[in-house]
């Protein structure tokens, strides 16, 4: 199956999930993250601001603040087709939803790439090798390649988004682990070195 057909299939699956299911599974996924050594040891966590059908990262963000961690999120420039991590200190203010429905920080202090310890990565689908199917913009692939990202890269997904195989090429950057409501699946040794369980 090619990427476009798989995207359509996965989007349909996500739309068919009930809101209650998404909330319940998101909570469990966040609990897996919060309970991991990687998260506990991280001083700077980069999360994403969830779209309605994605795994909701709100519990992780709130808990990270409670623990005194720095939380960064992507500030996306659609014109320049890239994103930079900026620190946020609230989910109530300083964010503006764009025409795609994505909440983007209005301001925010850029976070040095090398200081990030864990990147929570969205995606439409993942396979057991950590290959990721995004929405087609390649923002995360370029982000991981272009900068000194030594952080553990964890993909977040509902079990419905797991695939046997994700089509990929040399420009696609895999994640080190995939977190679903069923637990943390380690995909590379790098994640273990960061304390994955």
CATH number at residue 44: 3.40.50.10420
Q: What is the mean pLDDT of residues 54-68?
A: 97
Which stretch of DSSP H or E encloses residue 58? helix 58-66
Region 132-147: what's the mean pLDDT?
A: 84
| pTM of the predicted model as reported, rounded to 2 decimal places | 0.91
What is the spatial distance between Cα 55 and Cα 131, in angstroms, rounded to a whole number? 18
Is 193's pLDDT higher than 70? no
Cα–Cα nearest to 16, from 190, 160, 122: 160
Q: Tell whether the model's pLDDT for residue 191 goes beyond 90.
A: no
| Residue 50 domain boundaries | 3-193
Listed in sequence order, the residues at least 6 apart from 75 whose beta carbon sits closer than 8 Å to its beta carbon are 83, 84, 85, 86, 104, 105, 108
Q: What pLDDT sits at residue 189? A: 65
Count of structural domains, the chain:
1
């Amino acid at each position: 199956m090619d990427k476009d057909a798989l995207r359509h299939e996965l989007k349909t699956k996500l739309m068919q999930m009930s809101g209650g299911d998404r909330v319940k599974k998101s909570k469990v996924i966040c609990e897996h993250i919060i309970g991991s050594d990687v998260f506990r040891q991280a001083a700077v966590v980069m999360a994403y601001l969830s779209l309605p059908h994605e795994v909701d990262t709100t519990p992780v963000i709130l808990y990270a603040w409670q623990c005194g961690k720095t939380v960064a999120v992507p500030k996306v420039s659609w014109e320049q087709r890239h994103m930079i991590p900026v620190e946020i200190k609230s989910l109530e203010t300083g964010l503006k939803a764009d025409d795609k429905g994505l909440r983007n920080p209005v301001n925010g202090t850029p976070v040095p790439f090398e200081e990030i310890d864990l990147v929570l990565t969205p995606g439409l689908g993942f396979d057991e090798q950590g290959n990721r199917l995004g929405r087609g913009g390649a923002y995360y692939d370029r982000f991981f390649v272009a900068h000194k990202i030594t952080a553990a890269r964890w993909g977040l997904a509902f079990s419905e988004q797991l695939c046997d195989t994700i089509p990929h090429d040399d420009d696609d950057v895999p994640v080190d682990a995939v977190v679903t409501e069923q637990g943390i699946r380690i995909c590379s040794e790098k994640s273990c070195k960061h304390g994955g369980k």
